[in-house]
Chain A
Amino acid sequence: MRLSRRAMVQLMGGTVLATTLLGPRRALAATKITVLNWQGYGTDEKWALEAFTAATGIEVVHDYFNSEAEMITKLATNPGAYDVVLINSARIAQAAGQGLIQPVDFAKIPNATGLAPKLKDHDNMQYEGETFGCAWVWGMNGLGVRDGKTDPDSYAALADPAWAGKVALFDDAVTAVGLGALATGQDMNDPKDLEAVKTFLQSVRPNLHNLWTSEDQWNKAFAANEFDLSVAWSGGVVRSFRNGGLPVHFVVPKEGAIGWLDGLAVPTTAPDVDAAHAFINYMIDPEFYFRWATEVGAPASANVDAMAKLPEDDLMKQVHKAEYIDTMSIMSALPDERRDAFNALWQEMKAYYAAK
């Protein structure tokens, strides 16, 4: 799921720097830092790196990972190789617990004053009372609704006969169970009553038209009028409307969205801690974000100032309202037993849906 979201950002970018693994070589650049990230995910925009090098004299090169497990492995097996690493907030505690990343020194990140407090100080970013990640970008899973239909105010609409045969769910265990938990008034990351979640998910069956796994599949099916109400990514809905011209808008029900938050962190063994912080500061800079979001396409910034800089009619800004930050639950790390229980429940639900 995360991979495909990145893949979309990357596709939209178009000009992504597959070729610039080594970056523009500058004889004058005094220091060089290495960033570990998904390819095409903001930090490796060529124009941005050129501007950053021009302003600070710090040269930036990249290494990429293709899965979060690979990222952790690279950090663990290449000490001293990386200065900045992108980490999903749900992984911060794990990386900090393994001693792979160090606490963020916000004194070296002036732009951090603009960070939304809930995101900056989120539990996910903390380990033993210290903040190990700098909140960077975020997004939501909520409801994508066809224009002209009545906006649902609750996830309960997924099971409302008014939407019979016109509902699509996202085929992802954590999202599906999280949705059921929110709909039944539980903590999304630790639902105590999985039976209630199961009952809710079962009640969706008469309405269910399809399960989707990729944004491309979602777009095709929505364009073919297969469904009107769907669990959807906030960024995906914006792209479908803006790039695909699909009549869809994003709705956050009263239970709140299922949010995700990505952070930037500094490895414990980073060769140049100051330069790393300078780069993180640049990454949450409103100027950088404005260009990234308007020219390339980006998730919502954790920096309130950066979001404010976007024009009022910018769809990303309209969808990612600051108030949603307060209502959304952010996906956290799941203990293995709970993750397995979520997967088992979702697999059982899929078999239940298939028996229709």
Chain B
Amino acid sequence: MSAGPATTAPALNMGGRRLPPWVATTALLLPAYGWLMIAIFLPLGAMFLFSFMTATPIGTKEIGYTFDQYKIFFTQPYMWQVASWTFQIAFATTLICAVTGFLAALALARSGLGRSQWVFLILILLPFWTNGLVRIFSWTMVIREGGFLDAVVQFILPEAASVGFLYSRPAIVLGLVHGYLPYMVLTCYIAISTIDDAIVEAAESLGARWWTILGRILIPMAAPGLIAGSVLIFVPVVGAFMEPRILGGPQGVTLGTVIEDSFTQGFNWPQGAALSFMLLAVVLAIFATFSGVLRRNAEL
């Protein structure tokens, strides 16, 4: 993919006359970059502009420009609390995904399942094939008071109190983990697959216990996969609004739902846009922090 002009130009040999290399490069890049321009940068640029407006630019209203939308954390101090919940949920989701996803990937990559490991990989991917909304709603049936979970628990222990925890932050984390776990399994699986069996065998033959192998060899060598998976999960989870809304009930107030409310209920696009860009800034900061690891991972 990283083929430069020098290697691509000869392929386009039109009627014996060679085109200048930059023509071929432009022709090859144009579809992708044109699409990116239209699909990402144009709306993003418009939203960036909106975030400085005093009102939603639809209708006949006079529009002014202001920085006020970016001051929401000071004009509405409860937003700090909302941000704190959001990041708690995102960290918990990422951590749980990292632990369970890494272990699952380890089992898949190193258990010698042979060809059947592809079946297991496809099973991991299954959640991607079902509609997110359906997945979330089915969780509400399971974890609500008197739901399936309660039915099972009370079948075993008839006297047991309800264990339903719908409308709580753990419920939100549960739904998010379900949705995003496959990213972690896949990135870790790829990273672990590249670890040479000989290294592990050498450690074993030298008497290393399993926890030494895990802590000194497998985790450090799979770190790029873990970090890439964490970024892939953390970023969308910070902005998630569907899971908090449906599984969190009154507890489901996050930056994502506040942004969604600004756009839909409040019809206050500037506010929603400003919040989105503040969130984007945080996300970019996270990317910047881990960019070195990500780059290394991309080369794997």
Contacts and interface: CB of A to CB of B under 8 A. Distances in A.
Contacts of B245: 213
B250 A343 contact: no
Contact of A354 (B76, B85, B146, B262): B85
A224 B145 contact: yes
Contact of A211 (B60, B82, B145, B250): B250
Interface string B37-71: 00000000000000000010011110000000000
Contacts of A208: 250
Interface in B213-264: 245, 248-253, 258, 261-262
A336 B265 contact: no
Interface string A339-353: 110011001101111
A340 B266 contact: yes
Given A224-B145, A352-B78, A355-B81, A347 B261 contact: yes
Contact of A225 (B61, B78, B85, B146): B146
B60 A98 contact: yes
A226 B58 contact: no
Nearest to A352: B78
Contacts of B55: 336
A353 B266 contact: no
B178 interface: no
B121 to A, nearest CB: 35
Contacts of B248: 354
A340 B85 contact: no
A145 B72 CA distance: 38
A51 to B, nearest CB: 38
Nearest to B79: A351
Contact of B265 (A343, A352, A353): A343
Contacts of B268: 340, 343
A39 interface: no
B271 to A, nearest CB: 9
Contact of B249 (A172, A211, A220): A211
A171 B249 CA distance: 10
A141 B147 CA distance: 30
A343 B269 CA distance: 13
B183 interface: no
A278 interface: no
A69 B265 contact: no
- Scoring B60, B167, B253, B267 by chain A CB atoms within 10 A of each residue's CB, the highest score goes to B253
B250 A210 contact: yes
A25 interface: no
A35 B214 CA distance: 70
Contact of A344 (B58, B76, B144): B76
Contacts of A325: none
Nearest to B58: A69
B255 to A, nearest CB: 11
Nearest to B78: A351
Interface string A17-31: 000000000000000
A210 B249 contact: yes
B99 to A, nearest CB: 27
Nearest to A174: B265
A354 B61 contact: no
Interface string A188-213: 00000000000000000000111101
Interface string A68-82: 010010000000000
Given A69-B58, A210-B167, A351-B81, A173 B249 contact: no
A108 B249 CA distance: 50
Nearest to B253: A354
A19 B185 CA distance: 46
Given A173-B265, A213-B245, A69 B59 contact: yes
Interface in A112-139: none
12 contacts: A210-B250, A224-B145, A224-B147, A343-B262, A343-B265, A347-B261, A347-B266, A348-B76, A350-B253, A351-B82, A354-B82, A356-B251
